[in-house]
Amino acid sequence: MQGYVDCHCHISAGDFDKDVEEVIENSKKAGLLALLAVAEHSREFKKIIELSQRYPGFIFPCLGVHPVQEVSPEQQRGACLQDLDAALPIIEKYKDQLVAIGEVGLDFTPRYVRSDTDKENQRLVLIRQAQIAKELDLPLNVHSRSAGRPTIQLLKEQGVKKVLLHAFDGKPSVAMEGVKAGYFFSIPPSIIRSEQKQKLVKQLPLENICLETDSPALGPEKQVRNEPKNICVSAEYISKIKGVSLEEVMEVTTQNALQLFPKLKAAIRP
């Protein structure tokens, strides 16, 4: 098995409308075998399914409602149960094609949560989607910001077993609580400029690490569009921190991805 899996990527973002073909080609040249396309809101679900049909065996769809919802490009708010109304019928329709439910999670950044009610609403949205993931036997592709501990706690309480925590921003000691539960953590290319991510990778066992780009965000350079081809930036940096070969990082992280997202086996031979 020679190649990487991007476990969390926003390939449906408008940033890629003009040159998605070239972006995909370049990512394959960089060694990418598969990419998980995650959603933030129900309005982009159709586009994600279409992209997965246009690139079968390479783009794998994940549908879910993100804890932060856009009212307008300038205004965002925390998610509430009503946001699931449009989403759930589409998830049901495409359930057999999905490799995970996501992007879901908790985001307690002060500008999105002004009260305990806002936090509670996000929790309800996550709990409902965690239930659906369990019913469908699908993993969760999880966002947490300023909410590492409550996110892991909630997932454990809900008895969720298959979890990817993407771009985790909490303390390594909190992340280790996730490791104990068998959760995986995906590391974006922004690790090269984030001391917090470097500390996290030092602590996490390689057996719990996956790769992601979160394109177009979290790239190696701030304010520059991130692309799935930058997956190797994450891999190279992890190999440096862990003191293991790049081949080993590739091998172990891809095995981890296959373990967590078994539907990828259709495209990648273990």
- The residues of the shown chain that bind Zn ion, judged by CB under 5 A, are 103, 214
Q: 6 or 103: whose CB is closer to Zn ion?
A: 103
Minimum CB distance to Zn ion smaller for 166 or for 229:
166
As measured in angstroms, the least distance from the Cβ of 241 to Zn ion is: 22
The minimum distance between CB 102 and Zn ion, in angstroms, equals 8
Q: Residue 83 or residue 214: which is nearer to Zn ion going by CB? A: 214
The C-alpha atoms of residue 248 and residue 242 are separated, in whole angstroms, by 10
Q: Is 10 annotated as a binding residue?
A: yes
Q: Is 166 part of any known ligand binding site?
A: yes
Q: Which residue is nearest to Zn ion (CB)?
A: 214
Do the Cβ atoms of 212 and 167 come closer than 8 Å? yes
- Supply the minimum distance, in Å, between the C-beta of residue 103 and Zn ion: 5
DSSP 8-state class, residue 216: T
Residue 41 annotated as part of some ligand binding site: no
Closer residue to Zn ion (CB): 215 or 254: 215
Which residues of the chain form beta strands (DSSP E)? 4-9, 32-37, 59-63, 68-72, 75-78, 100-107, 140-145, 163-166, 184-187, 209-211
Strands 4-9 and 59-63: unpaired
Q: Does the annotation place 214 within a ligand binding site?
A: yes
| Burial 89-114, CB ≥16 within 10 A → b, else e | ebbeeeeeebbbbbbbbbbbeeebbe
Sequence ranges of the binding site: 8, 10, 103, 143, 166, 214
Sequence ranges of the binding site for a divalent metal cation: 8, 10, 103, 143, 166, 214
